[in-house]
Amino acid sequence: MRILIVEDDPMVRSINVGFIKKIGKAYIIYEAADVPSAVKILEQESIDLILLDVYLGKAKGPELLKWLRETHRKAEVILITADNSVETIEESFKLGAIDYLIKPFSFNRFEEAVAKASVRIERLKHKGTFGQADIDAMIQAGNKEASYEKGMNVMTYQVVEEALLAAQVPLTAQDVADKTHLARVTVRRYLEQMVQAGIANETLSYGKIGRPQKHYMMKKEV
């Protein structure tokens, strides 16, 4: 995955680069300190994900978001900023941002945002259209918070859920962990919750040796 970091503060930009590398995947990272530099990179490279600050000198992050939509570029955008004003947040989401991180944020929250974006990017690459079941599941994803167990994170739940929704075959917890960049023990907990909630199926696969493996798949009708 190709990631562009648009941040005018060199120290913050360095922290974001370090966080991406800490996730442990072979991401290709590009950096820009302002909107014109970001536009130049976007015109030359195929970027999958943009980590975008709001305050960037003379121009603001949402201006780059607006340019992306006007030029029909499909890069996903996560806002990373100290700006927590209602106006900026609403404008960013209206222009298609998929997440909004307010500085300072934890590595875990950063990792979850990138993982969610990764699943979304892969899903759209491999599936050009959605069926009604896909759309219904996406809508219902926003209405499940009340059913989460204590200590479960909404963002992590949705990341795991989207990985199952994108799969064409049953997946093991390790399969989902590989796709979402989350720990297998964490993934397994969320998968088991989905089974208990009745939105996913669990099956056992018996090999010649060792314990049977559990496989999970989202139900067609939820």
Please, what are the domains in the chain? 2-125 (3.40.50.2300), 130-218 (1.10.10.10)
The order of strands in the sheet holding 28-32 is 28-32, 2-6, 49-52, 76-81, 99-102
Mean pLDDT of the chain: 83
Q: What is the pLDDT of residues 86-111, one digit of tens each?
A: 889 999 999 989 899 998 888 888 98
pTM summary value: 0.64
pLDDT for the residue numbered 146: 39
Alpha helices in the chain (DSSP H): 10-23, 35-44, 61-70, 86-94, 107-126, 132-141, 154-166, 173-180, 184-197
Q: Which residue has the tokens 């959605």?
A: 130
pLDDT band at 34 (very low <50, low <70, confident <90, very high): very high
